[in-house]
Amino acid sequence: MRWTLPLVALFALTALPAGATSPTEPPRQPVDANGDGVVTREEAQTHPRLAAGFDAADTNKDGRLDSAEIDAMRQAHRAEARARADERWKSADTNGDGAISRDEAQKSMPRMAENFDKLDVNSDGKIERSEMHQARKQWRGGRPDADDAT
Q: Which residues contact 143 (CB under 8 A, 6 or more apart)?
A: 137
- Predicted local distance difference test score (pLDDT) of residue 114: 94
Q: Which of 31-35, 112-116, 146-150 has the highest mean pLDDT?
A: 112-116
The region of weakest confidence among 1-5, 59-63, 141-145 is 1-5
DSSP 8-class letter at 46: T
Mean pLDDT across 49-71 = 93
Q: What is the pLDDT of residue 16?
A: 39
**Nearest one of 111, 148, 107 to 129, comparing CA atoms:** 148
Task: Give the start-end residues of each E strand in 27-125.
Answer: 39-40, 64-65, 99-101
Residue count (the chain)? 150
Instruction: Write the CA distances from 19 to 27, 30, 71, integer angstroms.
Output: 5, 7, 18
| pLDDT at residue 15 is higher than 70 | no
What's the whole-number mean pLDDT along residues 31-51?
A: 90
Average of per-residue pLDDT values in the chain: 80
Q: Which residues pair with 71 in a beta bridge?
A: none
* The pLDDT of residue 91 is above 70: yes
pLDDT tens-digit readout, 102-146:
999 999 999 999 999 999 999 999 999 999 989 888 887 755 554
